[in-house]
Chains A and B, each alone.
Chain A
Amino acid sequence: MLLHHIGMLAKDLRAEAERLRGVCGYEIVSGEIEDSVQTAKVMFLKLPQTDSFLELAAPLGENSKLARALKTGEKLHHLCFQTDDISADLKNFREKGFLILCEPVAAAAFKDRKIAWVMDSQKNLFELVESGSGELPLKV
Chain B
Amino acid sequence: MDENLKKLQNIFRDILDDENLEITESFSQKDCEGWDSVAMVQIILAVESEFGVKFTTSEVANTRSVSDLLKKIS
- Residues of chain A touching chain B, judged by Cβ–Cβ distance below 8 Å, are 65, 68, 97, 99-101, 103, 119-121, 123
User: At the interface with chain A, which of B2-10, B24-32, B39-47, B64-72?
Assistant: B39-47
Decide: A121 and B45 in contact? CB cutoff 8 A: yes
Chain B residues 4-55 with CB under 8 Å of chain A are 36-38, 41-42, 44-46, 55
CB proximity of A44 to chain B, nearest CB, Å: 25
Decide: B38 and A119 in contact? CB cutoff 8 A: yes
Decide: B41 and A119 in contact? CB cutoff 8 A: yes
**Total of A-B residue pairs, C-beta within 8 Å:** 23
- In the complex, how many residues of chain B place their beta carbon closer than 8 angstroms to a beta carbon of chain A? 11
Decide: B38 and A99 in contact? CB cutoff 8 A: no
- Residues of chain B touching chain A, judged by Cβ–Cβ distance below 8 Å, are 36-38, 41-42, 44-46, 55, 57, 60
**Given contacts A68-B36, A121-B46, is CB(A103)–CB(B57) below 8 Å?**
yes
* Cα A100 to Cα B54 with chains together (Å): 11
Decide: B60 and A123 in contact? CB cutoff 8 A: no
Decide: B38 and A123 in contact? CB cutoff 8 A: yes
* Cα A103 to Cα B41 with chains together (Å): 15
